[in-house]
Structure 1
Amino acid sequence: MSKLPNVKLSSGALNKHKADLFVLPVYEGEVGSKRKSLRPLVTRVRRALRGVLEEAAKSERFSGKAGQMLALHTHGRLGAPRLTVVGLGKSGSTETHSTLRNAVGAAVRGARRIGATRVLVLLPEDARDAEAVRAATEGAILGAYRFDRYLTQEQKGAGKPVRTVALLVEDARDAAAKQALGLGQAIAEAANLARDLVNEPAGVIYPATLADFARDLAKAHGLKSTVRGLRELEKLGFGMMVGVGQGSDHEPKFITLEYRPGGRSSGKGIAFVGKGVTFDAGGYDIKPAASMLDMKMDMAGAAAAICAMRAIAALEPPFPVTAYVGAVENLVSGRAYKPGDILKSRKGLTVEVNNTDAEGRLVLGDVLSYAVEQGHEAIVDLATLTGACMVALGPYTAGVFSNDEATAKAVLDAGRKAGEDLWQLPLNEDLGEQLDSDIADTKNTGERWGGAITAALFLSKFTEHTPWVHLDIAGPAMLARERGPFTKGATGVGVRTLAQWTLDRMRAA
């Protein structure tokens, strides 16, 4: 990733600050009319610009709605030559923190294009609490991200990386604000790390290199790592995962990362499970070329699970947290598994393969079985599992399925706080008959309709009675265009939700 900015707190009178760019978040109606704003900070900016802000807002039909952005020159009347005004929507909205995160991220993302290396964010007077500071910090770091490793200097384009982002608050020495800034940094940097993993080509990230990355992360952050290869997977009875991976020259890897409070085991804790198909050609049910192009992203669930553990190490919860990842490639070869094959799972269930391109659930089934056997209090899995979920919810929303409503609600609440869009879909058991097989205990796919549900129902066969949530992140894992704080490409979806879910459990403990 590109070098990330130093995010810091700042306080004091507006006229004492200098930067290349001021960012002014506003609520609806604060700048688009002649009336005086109720907020002193906006009033100061309006007065300093002597009507320029109102004129520009009117000309550009900027009203302060969430997602709107207005850029203008200050003509030397403020401590920065440029001002970006970003809309927060209606004042008092319950979504203010999420909107602030996106607004700051979009402004910082745009700062690079104009060569603004020093940015000052004028946080609203009523949004300077710890959660707002954390949201703005996350937005700044997410917005500054750029995957430019393979660009030559000539192709990196105009503009300069943002070096510093200062957040204007009441008191820069406030302990709660400092703590919130550090938390935001840890979570956003973990999300950006996941974006790097997903953006890398499949020739760089394959099961062995993903395992190496996990080992290095564990070593750097005081976690325990375990990596198991093909022979150990065969001994463990991971018949489905081995079957999926047997068509590749890169053998599958089962990766485990463990956080233990104070280095000790304390209770069963929680677990993350990630689908790590580092490239998915579809097997013998091969994908069309256009559908295969982005299949390096089919390990986004694994990236989220692994990189969330970096945030967990920073959070230091008083309970154990474990990440499990099944890493494979799903390719075509003389050794590849075939439609009609019967695979035996770790749980003992036999599975008729009626679609080799429904491989993720096979990998997850074995990994979930293993995780369940460890006795965790709750498990969340993340997977770019079905196109059907994208058909149902679109490209920006992850589907949520669960066998436990309390755990589902906790994860949904965490996603809302983290600013990741999640929506619960039914685990409708009436569709389970679609998975019936005449020659095995189950098939791996059902009919066309309700495909995201039948995929989740298949996974539920391996979760026993453990509270479990499945996140189908096929849509939001990769963006086709810039949106909010995100560039085109990987988003690191899931990292922030997992971190927030852990944080919420810490606060409830």
Structure 2
Amino acid sequence: MNFTLSNKPLATAKADCLVVAVPEKGDWPESTRQADEALGGFLGELIKSGDVTGKNASTLSVPLTKQSWPRLLVVGTGADSDRSAANFRKALTAAVGQLKEGPSKQVHLALTDTPITGGDDETSEAARLSLIGRTLEDQLYRFSGFKSEKAPALKLTKVTVSATGTGKALKDAFDLGLATGRGMNLTKDLGNTPPNVCHPSWLAEQAEQLAKDHEVIKTEILDEKQMKKLGMHSLLSVSAGSAQPARLIVMEYRGGKAKDKPHVLVGKGITFDTGGISLKPGEGMDEMKYDMGGAAGVFGAMQTIAETKPAINVVAVIAAAENMPSGTATRPGDIVTSMSGQTIEILNTDAEGRLVLCDALTYAKRFDPATVVDLATLTGAVIVALGSHATGLFSNDEALAAQLTAAGERACDRVWRLPLWDDYQSQLDSNFADMQNIGGRPAGSVTAACFLSRFTKDYRWAHLDIAGTAWNSGKAKGSTGRPVPLLVDYLLSHVGK
């Protein structure tokens, strides 16, 4: 797909389809006025007839005759006063959805001058271009490599986006959006790949390929023998029942100064989760291929960083394992010693994500990190609390929590902070070990985060529970690519600081 910016007058734009915005309440953007003038007042007639209402994310595709463009796509963008970045993204998503299924090969998108409410970081032209670029890549994504009959190629081959200029700042913003979208698509590819293909060793191979594709990435893979030598018995207890060996995947990007402490991303990479001996119900278990959504999100963020090459240091640590029941699997009641030296009584083998993460978080300490952010499809309880709209956020640092929250708002990839109070820690008390790996049904997401917090006392840390946001179920089943936009925005906010 060819994406480009243009600052030429709209009347001279050559395309099979012109896309313009019409608000439900508010003034027309300049591009819409220009289009209406070129079309002899045709847009105004569509509004008078009621064919166009301007309701946010509504669309109308109209074939034209004897006009500059064979087709016009009108997108409703709601009221000016209600047009947040998130609502603007909904309108963009609707527009690209129409283009994806439409007949046009070359499209001109005149939506950049639609105003957005919010702070300067969200309302600038650069921010809008970044969001447009990201949405284009995200919404044009398809995953059909495992079907015997290949899906026909999209007719759409080129998208030109109107901008006030084509200078470096605007181009960089648009390119960042496209790169973020491609990072999301890598995350989706990894998540959607079936678990008979996507196992820990295969995931490690993808990290090695990322390093081959981007010389700024350095990858190291630790096998089970190396992990055992490091004392990662908690992580290894999860892979004990599987024929697929665990892997610890480390990727480093060093774009900042040598003395700059890196920001570390830690991803849960359970490539399939049966629950182990604490077996899950069969219904819906196929979706447990998405239990490596945290690892997939880290991959997507690292690819975006590798493409955009910011002046910052980033390290990724991924704990990859498959959780299976067998004669060698860990049992409820087993006690293991983590890399930190703390002992864990495993009462439920389906609470395995925290068992791999705790050793990965201990390993992260060796990088002397500026911050550590882990992301994991950790608990069903967070879905009960927040649904699929917001990622659960926990942190031992107020400033870090605020930075992630702000990044989520800017990126339309929101988080909601949940408590990490000491009051909950007693739910993890064990009669036989330093802690147990579950805290009972009450506050399940909180006690899971409390468990992780016991391994992160030496650095600034945040935990993102993405169990509700990493994938969609039902007819629209598939990885969402979240929280790549949040992570990219958060990391780039530290450039130059």
Same fold by TM-score, threshold 0.5 exceeded?
yes
| Contact 1:281–1:331 (Cα < 8 Å) also in 2 | yes
CA shift, 1:53, in A, is: 6.0
Q: Deviations over 1:256-280 (max 9, x none)?
A: 0011137x73332210000000000
Moved more, 72-81 or 323-332: 72-81
CA distance in 2: counterparts of 1:208 and 1:282, whole angstroms: 20
| Corresponding residue number in structure 1 for 2:54 | 63
Matched, 1:219 2:207: no
| Contact 1:317–1:502 (Cα < 8 Å) also in 2 | no
| Contact 2:31–2:111 (Cα < 8 Å) also in 1 | no
| Corresponding residue number in structure 2 for 1:303 | 296
CA shift, 1:336, in A, is: 0.6
| Contact 2:438–2:447 (Cα < 8 Å) also in 1 | yes
| Contact 1:435–1:444 (Cα < 8 Å) also in 2 | yes
CA shift, 1:415, in A, is: 1.5
CA distance in 2: counterparts of 1:111 and 1:38, whole angstroms: 22
| Contact 1:342–1:350 (Cα < 8 Å) also in 2 | yes
Letter in 1 for 2:410: K
Matched, 1:40 2:30: yes
CA distance in 2: counterparts of 1:27 and 1:285, whole angstroms: 53
Matched, 1:261 2:261: no
CA shift, 1:421, in A, is: 1.9
| Contact 2:46–2:52 (Cα < 8 Å) also in 1 | no
CA distance in 2: counterparts of 1:360 and 1:43, whole angstroms: 54
CA distance in 2: counterparts of 1:443 and 1:92, whole angstroms: 50
| Corresponding residue number in structure 2 for 1:19 | 15
Matched, 1:228 2:222: yes
Letter in 2 for 1:41: S
| Contact 2:109–2:159 (Cα < 8 Å) also in 1 | yes
Moved more, 306-315 or 390-399: 306-315
Q: Deviations over 1:180-216 (max 9, x none)?
A: 1221222211111111000100011100000000011
| Corresponding residue number in structure 1 for 2:120 | none
Cα RMSD of the aligned pairs, angstroms, is 2.2
Q: Deviations over 1:435-491 (max 9, x none)?
A: 111111111111212111111111101101311111101111112368xxxx64111
CA distance in 1: counterparts of 2:47 and 2:22, whole angstroms: 14
State TM-score, norm by structure 2. Answer: 0.92
CA distance in 2: counterparts of 1:49 and 1:453, whole angstroms: 60
CA distance in 2: counterparts of 1:388 and 1:57, whole angstroms: 49
CA shift, 1:496, in A, is: 1.6
Cα–Cα, structure 1 residues 403 and 54, in superposed 2: closer, same or farther, change >3 Å? farther
* 1:339-488 correspondence runs (5 A): 339-480=332-473, 488=477
Cα–Cα, structure 1 residues 292 and 107, in superposed 2: closer, same or farther, change >3 Å? same
Cα–Cα, structure 1 residues 365 and 61, in superposed 2: closer, same or farther, change >3 Å? same
Letter in 1 for 2:445: A
Moved more, 356-365 or 372-381: 372-381
| Contact 1:214–1:225 (Cα < 8 Å) also in 2 | yes
| Contact 2:22–2:54 (Cα < 8 Å) also in 1 | no
Letter in 1 for 2:210: L
Moved more, 408-417 or 102-111: 102-111
Matched, 1:91 2:80: yes
| Corresponding residue number in structure 2 for 1:149 | 145
Cα–Cα, structure 1 residues 133 and 442, in superposed 2: closer, same or farther, change >3 Å? same
CA shift, 1:414, in A, is: 1.2
| Contact 2:335–2:433 (Cα < 8 Å) also in 1 | yes
CA shift, 1:77, in A, is: 6.0
| Corresponding residue number in structure 2 for 1:106 | 94
CA distance in 2: counterparts of 1:277 and 1:109, whole angstroms: 32
Matched, 1:250 2:250: no
CA shift, 1:139, in A, is: 0.9
Moved more, 41-50 or 250-259: 41-50
CA distance in 2: counterparts of 1:353 and 1:267, whole angstroms: 38
Moved more, 371-380 or 85-94: 85-94
| Corresponding residue number in structure 1 for 2:118 | none
CA distance in 1: counterparts of 2:107 and 2:477, whole angstroms: 22
CA shift, 1:170, in A, is: 2.2
Q: Deviations over 1:112-147 (max 9, x none)?
A: 222323221112435572111111111111111111
Cα–Cα, structure 1 residues 72 and 481, in superposed 2: closer, same or farther, change >3 Å? farther
Structure 1 residues without counterparts, runs of 5 or longer: 31-36
| Contact 2:335–2:345 (Cα < 8 Å) also in 1 | yes
Cα–Cα, structure 1 residues 291 and 50, in superposed 2: closer, same or farther, change >3 Å? same
State TM-score, norm by structure 1. Answer: 0.90
3-state DSSP of counterpart to 1:232: helix
Cα–Cα, structure 1 residues 143 and 49, in superposed 2: closer, same or farther, change >3 Å? farther
Cα–Cα, structure 1 residues 78 and 177, in superposed 2: closer, same or farther, change >3 Å? farther
Report the number of matched residues.
487
Moved more, 403-412 or 38-47: 38-47
Letter in 2 for 1:62: T
CA distance in 2: counterparts of 1:60 and 1:343, whole angstroms: 66
Letter in 2 for 1:129: E
Q: Deviations over 1:80-139 (max 9, x none)?
A: 33333333333255723x433443233223312223232211124355721111111111
| Contact 2:411–2:489 (Cα < 8 Å) also in 1 | yes
| Contact 1:396–1:421 (Cα < 8 Å) also in 2 | yes
CA shift, 1:41, in A, is: 2.6
CA shift, 1:24, in A, is: 1.9
| Contact 2:136–2:178 (Cα < 8 Å) also in 1 | no
Letter in 2 for 1:26: V
Matched, 1:163 2:151: no
Letter in 1 for 2:225: R
3-state DSSP of counterpart to 1:84: strand
3-state DSSP of counterpart to 2:494: helix
CA shift, 1:56, in A, is: 6.3
Cα–Cα, structure 1 residues 209 and 57, in superposed 2: closer, same or farther, change >3 Å? farther
CA distance in 2: counterparts of 1:104 and 1:240, whole angstroms: 45
Matched, 1:132 2:128: yes
